[in-house]
Amino acid sequence: MNIAGTIRKLKFQHTVFLVLLVLAIAGALVYTASATVAENENLERTGSVVAVVLSVACLLVGFNLFKRKMMEARNLELPEMRIRKYFTACMIWWSLIYLPGIVALALFVITSYYSFAALAVLHCLILLAFMPRKGNIAVLLRLTEKDL
């Protein structure tokens, strides 16, 4: 696949991650508005610790993996190989942003504790911030206009 096609595929994959997370947030909010959930303070406290630790761990690990794969991609000779490595790096990074958001939503559905929903929204915003842009990809991968 050529570079332009890979960039289109990357943007599509990002949109899929974003739409799935937004739909999951909307579904969780609708469900908890209509369901009755017994309050369990212990579960809320434990869930909060799990959600925050998972979020921080996934964001740190994901960003470090992304950064390392980006450095590997920059050193590759062929532009097609660089963009493939970048695609892999993005998929890993976005998955590690998406996962804690889904876990937070599951905890929100179980407990109806709105801080879990807020955490999921935060992950949605982080995912939105790392949207692939052609200009950024060109700079990060040292691609010329001819390569694009």
Q: Which residue, chain included where needed, has tokens 């200009």?
A: 135
Cα separation, 78 vs 92, in Å, equals 22
Residue 72, CA atoms < 13 Å, CB-side half-sphere: 13
Cα separation, 138 vs 70, in Å, equals 12
pTM recorded for the entire structure = 0.86
Q: What is the pLDDT of residues 57-111, one digit of tens each?
A: 999 999 999 999 988 988 888 888 888 999 999 999 999 999 999 999 999 998 8
Cα separation, 49 vs 141, in Å, equals 37
